[in-house]
Structure 1
Amino acid sequence: MQRLRLPAVLAAVLLALLPATARAADYPDPQPITGQQIIHDPTVIRLKSGGYVAYSTGGVIGARLSKDRRQWDDAGNAFAEPPSWWYEYNATGDPWAPDISYRAGRYWLYYAVSSWGTNHSAIGVATSRSGLPGTWTDRGKVFTSGTTDSWNAIDPAVVRADGRLWMAFGSYWTGIRLVELDPVTGRAVPGATVHHLATRPDAPYAVEGPSVVRHGRYYYLLASYDACCSGVNSTYKIRVGRSTKVTGPYTDSTGTPLLAGGGDLLLAGHGRFVGTGGESVFRDKGRDILAYHYYDAEDSGIPKLGLNTLQWTRDGWPIVR
C-alpha cells in the first residue's frame, strides 16, 4: 500500500518545489462536468444541507444545483422577478456577477445592477436561510457609484479579515477597490475608506471581477484582465497578487504592485477553453476550488462552467490543477 501512494507523495513534493514563475507553464482543462454547463460569472458554495449551488449572471440571477459537483441541473433563478429598484440602473432589471457567502446563520447573496459602459451602478444584497433559489429576501442597496466617481460598483466579492467584513469590487474605471461592510446589515460602513487594490497603467483599465482568498499569512487578490462577453473573441484571463493585509498593497511574485499593472498569470485561455475569467473561489472538503466561465470554441462560443482545484507552492503561490 505504501508503494501505491508514493507517486502522489512525489507529486506533492514536486509541486511544493515549483517556483512562482513556473505556474503559468501550462493550463489545465476544467474538471469534467455534466448536465447544465452554461453559466457566466459563477459563484459557488457547498450548502450546509448538502450539495452545491451556483449562481450567475443571466436570468434573475440564474441558479444551478449539484449533489456531487459533477452533475449540474438548472434550478431556475434566485428571484421570481427583479426587485423594483433594479430598474433605476437598467431598463430590463438585469443583475450581474453575484457572490454567495455564509455567516451568522444565513446565506448572503451580493450582486450588481448596471448598464454596459457606465459606472452608474449599484451593489445589492439578499439573504436566505437555505441558500436555495426562490428563498431569497432582497435587502436593497449595499454600495453605489455614479458618473462622478472614479470606481464602478459592480462585481462584488465579500471576504472576512481580522474580525471585520470587507467587499472587493470594481470593473474598469481605475480598477479594483475595497470597502468595509457592517456585519449586521451587510451594507457598506457609512463614510468608509474606499481602498484601491489593482489597476492597469492605461485606459480603459481593463481589470474587473475580483476575488480575495486567504491562505497562510497572505490575502490573494484574483481578478479578470482584458475583455469578456465576446464569445470566442474574448480575451479574459485571471491574474493574482498577494498582500499581508486585506487592504493591500498587493504585489505579484516579482514584487510588481498590482496598482502598477502587476499580476501573475494564473489561468489563460487554451484550446477550446477561451476567455477564462469571471472567477470566484470556494472551500470544499478542505480545498480551495476555483470557479470561472470560459467560452467553448467547439460549441459556438457558449459560456460554460469551469472548475479546478487551487493548490499552493512552497513559496505560497496558487497553481491551478
Structure 2
Amino acid sequence: MKPIRLATVAAAAVLALLPATAHADTAYPDPRPITGQQIIHDPTVARLQSGGYVAYSTGGVLGARVSKDMRQWDDAGNAFAAPPGWWYQYNDTGDPWAPDLSFRDGRYWLYYAVSSWGTNHSAIGVATSPTGLPGTWTDHGKVFTSGKSDPYNAIDPAVIHAEGRLWMTFGSYWTGIRMVELDPGTGKAKPGAEVHHLATRPDAPYAVEGPYIVRHGRYYYLFASYDACCAGVNSTYKIRVGRSTSVTGPYTDSTGKPLLEGGGDLLLAGHGRYVGTGGESVFRDRGQDWLAYHYYDAQDNGTPKLGLNRLSWKSGWPELR
C-alpha cells in the first residue's frame, strides 16, 4: 500500500481501535544494518542475472536502488523516465505504487499499481526489461482493473508461477486479498478469469493488503500487511502469514483459522525504533530466502526505510533472523 486508502475519517477511527500485537518487542529481530540510500516504501528486491541487486519502490516513477552486496544501497533514479499516458486515468500525477519484480522467460517483469487515495478506481500495469535496471523498461499497459462497483481494489500486485500456471495476487481494504490467473504470454489477466478470494478481516475497513505468496515444500505461504501504513511513527502496519496446499487457497494460520475469517500468524510487528513494518516482498538469493519491507524510523522523524531479514523455515512455518 502507498498512501493510506481510508475512504472516511470514521474508517481511520476504526483502525485506531484495532487490537495491538500481543507479542513482546523482543520477539522480533531488527533488520540487518545497511548504508547509503535507505529511504524506501513498498520494496521489491531481486538479485540480477548480471550480478548485484536492484530494489524498486513506491515514490518517483517507481524509485530504484542498486547494490553490489545488499548492504550499501545507492540511488539509481526511477524505473521510468516519465509516466505512461494511461496512468493519468487513475490519478492526476501519474503516481505508481507498490511494484513487484520477477524474472521469467528471459525477461524481467515489473508489475505496479496506479490509483488515487481512498478509491478502488485502480489499475495494475506491467512492463518488461532485458536487464531489470532502471531506464530499460517497456510498458505494456493494463493487466487488471477495478472500479467503484467492485468489492476489491486492484493494487499491490505480486506474481507467482504455480501449478503450471501464472497467478497474480492483489488487494487492499475493500474485502481484502484476491487472486487472478494471468496469460503467461502477455502477462495480463486472462479474459473472464475468476477472481479468487484469499484473505480478509471480519469488519470494515478490512485492513489487509500488500499480499505476497511463496512456495516452500508442499505449501504456499501468503504474507500480507495488516492495519495502517503511511502515518510515520503512528503507523500500525504488521506482517501476518498463512498457508495452503493450493495456490488459490484456502489459507489458514497455524491454529487452523482461515485467513478469510481474520486469521494469520503474526510474523513481524513494530518494535523499538522500527515502527509499522510492512509493504513486504520475498526474494531468493543463492539458496537463501529474504524478507524485504519498509519500516518507519522512530529515531529519524518516522522516515520510511528498507528492512531486510533472513527468512528461514521451522516446523513448516516462516521465521525471521
TM-score, normalised to structure 2, is 0.92
Q: Which residue of 2 aligns with 1:281?
A: 282
Indicate if the aligned counterparts of 1:253 and 1:264 stay in contact, CA closer than 8 A: yes
Post-superposition Cα deviations, 1:183-229, rounded to whole Å, max 9, x if no partner, equal: 00000010011000000000000000000000000000000000000
Cα offsets for 1:36-72 (capped at 9, x unmatched): 0000000000000000000000000000000000000
> Is contact 1:23-1:266 (8 Å) kept?
no
What displacement does 1:24 show?
A: 8.9
Alpha-carbon contact 1:95-1:111 (below 8 Å) kept: yes
CA distance in 1 between partners of 2:36 and 2:299 (Å): 17
Distance 2:303 2:25 in 1: 25
Distance 2:181 2:25 in 1: 33
Partner residue, 2:318: 318
Structure 1 counterpart of 2:128, one-letter code: T
Task: Provide the residue aligned with 1:51 in structure 2.
Answer: 52
Cα RMSD (Å)? 1.3
**Which amino acid letter does the alignment assign opposite residue 294 of structure 1?**
Y
2:74 and 2:25 mapped to 1: Cα distance? 32
2:299 equivalent in structure 1: 298
Q: Following the alignment from structure 1 to structure 2, what is the Cα–Cα distance between the partners of residues 309 and 23? A: 20
2:191 and 2:252 map into 1 onto residues whose CA distance is 29
Question: Partner residue of 1:17?
Answer: none
Distance 1:166 1:25 in 2: 36
**Structure 1 residues not aligned, in runs of 5+:** 1-20
Q: Distance in 1 between matches of 2:299 and 2:47?
A: 30
Distance 1:280 1:120 in 2: 24
Q: CA deviation at 1:25?
A: 6.5
1:161-176 equivalences under 5 Å are 161-176=162-177
Q: Counterparts of 1:251 and 1:92 in 2: how far apart (Å)? A: 39
CA shift, 1:106, in A, is 0.2
Contact 2:25 2:271 in 1 (8 A): no
Q: Note the 1:267-278 alignment, pairs <5 A.
A: 267-278=268-279
The alpha-carbon deviation at position 163 of structure 1 amounts to: 1.0
- Runs of 5+ unmatched residues, structure 2: 1-21
SS at 2:45 equivalent: strand
Code of the residue aligned with 2:234 in structure 1: it is N
Cα contact 1:24–1:266 (8 A) shared by 2: no
The one-letter amino acid paired with 1:305 is: L
Could you report, residue by residue, the CA deviation over 1:253-281 in whole angstroms, capped at 9, with x for unpaired residues? Answer: 00000000000000000000000000000
- Higher-Rg member (1/2): 1
SS at match of 1:275: strand
- Return the alpha-carbon distance in structure 2 between the equivalents of residues 24 and 215 of structure 1: 27
AA partner of residue 65 (structure 1)? V
Map of 2:82 onto structure 1: 81
Pairing 1:62-101 to 2, within 5 Å after superposition: 62-101=63-102
User: 2:9 matched to which residue of 1?
Assistant: none
Query: What's 1:9 paired with?
Result: none
Deviations 1:114-151 (A, max 9, x none): 00100000000000000000000000000000000000
Q: 1:30 to 1:261 in 2, by over 3 A?
A: same
In the alignment, structure 1 residue 226 sits paired with structure 2 residue 227: yes
Secondary structure at the aligned position of 1:39 is classed as: coil
Amino acid at match of 2:290: I
Judge conservation of contact 1:23–1:319 (CA < 8 Å) in 2.
no
1:192 equivalent in alignment to 2:193: yes
Check 1:160–1:25 CA distance in 2 against 1; reply closer, same or farther (3 A cut). farther
Give the equivalent residue in structure 1 for 2:243.
242
Q: How many residues align?
A: 300
Structure 2 residue identity aligned to 1:80: A
TM-score, normalisation: structure 1: 0.92
Looking at structure 1, the residues matched to 25 and 135 of structure 2 have their Cα atoms a distance apart, in angstroms, of: 40
